[in-house]
Amino acid sequence: MIKSFIGIVALGLGLAAAAETPNIAGTWNMGLEGGHVIPVALVLTQDGQKLTGTIALPIRESGQHMDVKLAGTFVDRAFTLSGSAEHGNESKGVDITGKLLDDGTMEGTFFMADHGKMPWTAERLKERK
């Protein structure tokens, strides 16, 4: 009987831990703050603590952007993502750190060589019905 009770408690704790892991998969409207707000799309896929996705960074050509593939982790409502921006014969590392806030938005820091660190905020794009 005690083993059954312990098993039920352990199962309950496991379910509670799983329920506490929020899902941040989806498309986010991200605003990079670099003198002015630069709107970009951040698309994330989540598998437990593993994150993958893309960020659509603007490039110098008017109206153009490049999709940078990202990979990282999501633990305790905080995440890190890294990728490499390839444009022409240049390659620059992209590092993003962030956290999910209680109101469902996110904030953090974006870093890319030549641009330095930039704070950002993001809201999840609402799905159309």
* pTM (predicted TM-score): 0.79
Identify the CA nearest to 51 among candidates 78, 88, 17. 78
Classify residue 82: in a domain, yes or no.
yes
Q: How many structural domains comprise the chain? A: 1
Classify residue 80: in a domain, yes or no.
yes
Classify residue 15: in a domain, yes or no.
no
Cα–Cα distance, 28 to 96 (Å, whole number): 14
Classify residue 58: in a domain, yes or no.
yes
CB 93 within 8 A of CB 80: no
Q: Is 12 helix (H, G, I), strand (E, B) or coil?
A: helix
**Helix residue ranges per DSSP H, 21-125:** none
Classify residue 8: in a domain, yes or no.
no
Classify residue 10: in a domain, yes or no.
no
Classify residue 64: in a domain, yes or no.
yes
CATH code assigned at 30: 2.40.128.120
Classify residue 116: in a domain, yes or no.
yes
Identify the domain containing residue 95 by its residue range.
23-124
Provide the residue-wise pLDDT of the chain in tens; the chain has 129 residues: 555 544 444 444 444 445 577 999 999 999 999 889 999 999 999 999 999 999 999 887 667 888 999 999 999 999 999 999 886 777 889 999 999 999 999 999 999 987 789 999 999 998 766
